[in-house]
Amino acid sequence: MVAAGFGLAIPAYSADVFKPGKGDQVKLGQRAAAEIRKKEKVLPSSDERVRTLRRVASRLLAQMDGNTKDPWQYSFDVIDNKQVNAFALPGGPTFFFTGLLDRLSTEDQLAGVLAHELTHVRREHWAYAYRDQQQRALGLNLLLIFTRANNTMGGIASIANDLLFTLPFSRKHELEADNQGMDMMLQAGYNPNGIKEVFEILARTSGGGKPPEFLSTHPNDKARIQRLSDRISKMGKTFAPQTPLPWARVQG
């Protein structure tokens, strides 16, 4: 199939020429993760919070469809920092800050955040966001797209690590992460109220001021919490009680 212009036959391009492939996503994520481990205070594997994070992550990963063609290289680390944040890099490296873990009280809440972030990785949301950004930057100029189509991204080395953290996901991708993350929780036997409670906790934490880091990259509003509540209600099920985190403070 060709697109004709000025009497020339120009091969039709796919929008995905601007999307980093799975292998490139893994390389980008591994590169950024290595830099994080050099700069941040990453807790040792013996720390109870790291052990718990990895145990919950393993339980979730065991429920994923086994697509042996996927190259994802998952890893799970905790950064000793009061920042209220968690994120998954392209390709699988996932980091939680102690500032967020300190606000969670159950494994189900932890599983909710993890499942949400893992969905971003599995569904390649960062790569699609990058593709869309590149298309907007080019203004969809056909000739420019054609001349750059065979040199996608100019090589992944040209992508700064900062772009892996600052490129926002679309509302469509956030909705997908909410829904499929909840499905992953259910398949692993977690109480889906956990993820709803996370957003409620963080909404209270913001107190109307600057939102926690996690909420600044994951838009939070009453409609989102209500949507999660409605979905849980429509299931018409009684779920097992949530499992307290070993370090959670007893609430008075």
DSSP 42: B
What DSSP assignment string belongs to 47-113?
A: SHHHHHHHHHHHHHHTTS---TT-----EEEEE--S---EEE-TTSEEEEEHHHHTT--BHHHHHHH
Q: Is 246 exposed, middle or buried (0-12, 13-18, 19+ CB in 10 A)?
A: exposed
Domain boundaries, the chain: 22-125+166-235
CB atoms closer than 10 angstroms to residue 250: 6
- pTM value is 0.82
How far is Cα 147 from Cα 194, in angstroms, rounded to an integer?
49
Residues 6+ apart with CB under 8 A from 95: 33, 36, 77, 78, 79, 86, 87, 88, 89
**Secondary structure of residue 200 in the 3-state scheme:** helix
Query: Residue 71: CA atoms inside 13 Å, Cβ hemisphere, count?
Result: 12
Task: For the chain, 252 residues long, give each residue's pLDDT as a single digit of tens.
Answer: 334 444 344 344 455 678 889 999 999 999 999 999 999 999 999 999 999 999 999 999 998 765 567 899 999 999 999 999 999 999 999 999 999 999 999 999 999 999 999 999 999 988 888 888 877 776 655 545 555 544 444 455 666 566 655 656 678 888 899 999 999 999 999 999 999 999 999 888 876 566 676 766 666 678 889 999 999 999 999 999 999 999 885 443
The tokens describing 16, both together, are 């995905």
Q: For position 205, what pLDDT does the model report?
A: 82
